[in-house]
Structure 1
Amino acid sequence: MVITGASSGVGLAAAEQFAAQGDRVVVVGRDEGRLEAAVARVRAAGGGREPGRFRADFERLAEVRDLAAYLLDTCPSIDVLANNAGGMVGGYRRTADGYEATIQGNHLAPFLLTRLLRERLTGARLVATASRVHTQGRPDPDDFTGDAGTYRWGRAYGAAKSANILFAAEAARRWPDVTSVSFHPGVVRSNFGEGPVRLVYRFAPFLTTPEKAGALLVWLATTPAAELTDGGYYVGHKLTTPAAHASDPAAAAKLWDASAAAVAL
């Protein structure tokens, strides 16, 4: 089980639950300190079994390639790839690779990782953490760089989450030997986002617990494939139709091809 964004929140909760049921887990995170603490928790949940670990910043595609090389070297097979890493970016930021940080961290980086791991994914499950906020934006496959003058963090995040849904659906069409789904985890209490957004996710009332959201990820990763809809988008345990712009096969195919070009595949 490879889980990105596993140093806190949904990813960490899911990693602990996988470990508790005896699965070997690889924990991927960006911050070294949080990653170290997460590894200790996953180790404890697994009864002392040492999880795999790798630090990678998805705003640097070179580090995503390093992560893929590590996984190809250490994992003879991958049963589940949970593309859970990502987040909201409070203001416009261009990455070292030249792309707007929200679309790179949430979409281009996991797209690259998944493509690089393709040879290990036969019979595997892909689970992408999306969001109902996908209704607020749509990705532009002709422009992953964006513009500081027109940047709006909510729209950028919505576009990235739409990209997650489109990618999961397109993977299902292109790779019939892989089961691919996306899901909305709820609004989860976590260290998510930056600045004021992070305060909302840490302290607002009535938020979903990471454990509940993690359990949903685990359910999607382990439920027999015949009981899921390949390429489907789930809200809770219910198959749900995403917004029209996030359920268009032509848009998904165009996004796939543009993403492959952007990450030099």
Structure 2
Amino acid sequence: MGRTIVVTGASSGVGLAAAKQFAAMGDDVVLVGRDPQRLANAVAEVRDAGNGREPGRYRTDFDSFAEVRALADHLLTNLPRIDVLANNAGGMVEHHRKTTDGYEATIQGNHLSPFLLTSLLRERLRDARVVNTASRAHMQGKPDPDRLAGDPAKYSTWQAYGASKAANILFASEAARRWPDITSVSFHPGVVRSNFGVGRVTRFFYKYAPGLVTPEKAGALLVWLSTAPKDELVQGGYYVDRDSPATPAPHARDDSLAAKLWEASAEATG
């Protein structure tokens, strides 16, 4: 019997590549994405990779806690078990923007909404695995639990993105402490060739720069973290390859910051 895998941000890039690899292994995959057409195209690709097995799908915008709650309700209603939750959805926001929930859009989409989704699925994830897509960009920003709404006057695209990726690492490590029955890890997928980023220069770089990692290779690391024997992984670890966990920046391994961010995130998401 195949595993049941939920992949957010599955419409393209790392998420889609991993979803196809899971499907080829015989797993039941549920794809979560924001854009309906891209999600439909991804479903077709994953169906082909799985020899005709129909993947699940659900359209969700992580800018909205209400939509995340609807997604969690859908998954709890339709999936008797979840073996892996791949918190892969994320992106970059060019200018400071608050969501309808009142938080800076980068930290909400990349951290608060995945935090909320995982928390809502927590009981269904007992003895399961949560894999969080982080980034080496975490070195460029530090999350501030007291200011999740952000400051328009001080906004920097890369600092906001970096802070959200540091939050992913802190979430994985704190989840490992609070939920020891769930295997929780984070990883850096590499600088992946994709449609990632904002602005023409950044998008050009991620599409055409030499030496970029393919989505397939990055997806393979996500799949390995999702399927490797539990005793081969370090609980709460941050990975950049299949060797032992890497050491993130000091602020991303600060246990007191992780605990404070958890409490602020729980309050923010209700």
TM-score > 0.5 by shorter chain: yes
Q: Select the residue among 244, 259, 263 that pairs with 2:265.
A: 259
The correspondence of residues 118-197 of structure 1 with structure 2, limited to 5 A, is 118-196=122-200, 197=202
Match of 1:206 in 2: 211
The amino acid across from 2:7 in the alignment is I
Deviations 1:126-147 (A, max 9, x none): 1000001101110000011112
Instruction: Identify unmatched segments of 5+ residues in structure 1.
Output: none
The amino acid across from 1:221 in the alignment is S
Match of 1:250 in 2: 256
Deviations 1:207-229 (A, max 9, x none): 10000000000000000110000
Distance 1:32 1:195 in 2: 23
The amino acid across from 2:9 in the alignment is G
Distance 1:191 1:80 in 2: 25
The correspondence of residues 43-122 of structure 1 with structure 2, limited to 5 A, is 43-122=47-126
Deviations 1:97-118 (A, max 9, x none): 1111100000000000000001
Kindly state the Cα deviation for residue 149 of structure 1 after the two structures are TM-superposed: 1.4
Identical positions, percent: 69
Deviations 1:126-177 (A, max 9, x none): 1000001101110000011112111001100110000000000000000111
SS of 1:217's equivalent in the other structure is helix
Kindly state the Cα deviation for residue 93 of structure 1 after the two structures are TM-superposed: 1.1
Comparing 85-94 and 38-47, the one that deviates more? 85-94
Distance 1:65 1:201 in 2: 32
SS of 1:114's equivalent in the other structure is helix
Match of 2:228 in 1: 223
The correspondence of residues 13-28 of structure 1 with structure 2, limited to 5 A, is 13-28=17-32
Distance 1:101 1:247 in 2: 24
The amino acid across from 1:88 in the alignment is M
TM score, norm. by length of structure 1: 0.98
Distance 1:175 1:224 in 2: 18
Instruction: Identify unmatched segments of 5+ residues in structure 2.
Output: none
SS of 1:164's equivalent in the other structure is helix
TM score, norm. by length of structure 2: 0.96
The amino acid across from 1:68 in the alignment is A
Task: Find out whether 1:235 has 2:266 as its counterpart.
Answer: no
SS of 1:22's equivalent in the other structure is coil
CA RMSD of aligned residues (A): 0.7
Aligned residues: 264
